[in-house]
Amino acid sequence: MVFIWNTWKRFEYNFLYFCPMRIDILTILPQLLESPFSDSILKRAQTKGLVEVHIHDLRSYSTNKHKKVDDYAFGGGAGMVMTIQPIADCIDELKSEREYDEIMYMTPDGEVWDQPTANSLSMGENFILLCGHYKGIDERIREKYITKEVSIGDYVLSGGELAAAVVADSLIRLIPGVLNDETSALTDSFQDNLLAPPVYTRPANYEGMEVPKVLLSGNFKEIEKWRSEKALERTKTRRPDILKD
């Protein structure tokens, strides 16, 4: 329900004011983010003017003569820490130009990103996604600027870029007009606390493995019923934790 409501509100909003979502990604490795946004759905969303993705190279904000963006950790120990100055300058500049719904830091100790969070944030307009590296960023940046700390799972990546691409993708595909068929996102896993049912395409018979007859019947009521049953069955066996009453 939340998703349908959000989709409708964004439709209404886009229709009345036409305001594309804007995502600013802050990174020391901008080249890592080139490919995810230059193909398929994410590229089309930008071409259609439904979203703007801006990648900012934090190194270009560094006032250090060698463009350094990291330093030793106070207290010693292995690993460098990303310094305050380039990040603060970049965020200050962006904030002086517009208001942001959320300034998110990609971090394994953040709140785990999920579909309900993506659904509710897809209503927003402007987001900053900050990618860390090394041992992470100076804690004071988190205290002063970050409004949401996001993890994409309980494992550690080398940098926040892949996490930022995951978060951005899951937001962008929810913007009305991005997917060719609006209802497609509604039937994906995690909407309505269910996993998606199995899907099939041609051939109808592959090495003796037949597609369930109902899917070839043309009876849409029966097909819907079958899909709901399969979605429930699959959720019960694979992810009982997401099932609600």
The footprint of ligand SAM (CB under 6 A) covers 106-109, 131-133, 135-136, 151-153, 155-160, 163
d(CA 141, CA 14): 33
Kindly state the tokens that stand for 73.
């950790």
Residue 83 CB, shortest distance to ligand SAM, in Å, is: 13
Closest residue to ligand SAM, based on beta-carbon distance = 132
Q: Which is nearer to ligand SAM, 50 or 152 (CB)?
A: 152
Q: Which is nearer to ligand SAM, 162 or 211 (CB)?
A: 162
Closest CA to 10 of 166, 120, 103, 150: 120
Q: Which is nearer to ligand SAM, 107 or 235 (CB)?
A: 107
Q: Which is nearer to ligand SAM, 6 or 151 (CB)?
A: 151
Residue 135 CB, shortest distance to ligand SAM, in Å, is: 4
The 10 Å Cβ neighbour count of residue 38 is 11
Closest CA to 179 of 42, 72, 35, 39: 42
Q: Give the max Cα distance, the chain.
A: 70
Residue 130 CB, shortest distance to ligand SAM, in Å, is: 7
Q: Which is nearer to ligand SAM, 137 or 195 (CB)?
A: 137
Q: With DSSP H G I counted as helix, E B as strand and the rest as coil, what are the percentages for the chain, rounded to 5? A: 45, 20, 35
Three-state SS at 13: helix
Residue 27 CB, shortest distance to ligand SAM, in Å, is: 9
Residue 42 CB, shortest distance to ligand SAM, in Å, is: 19
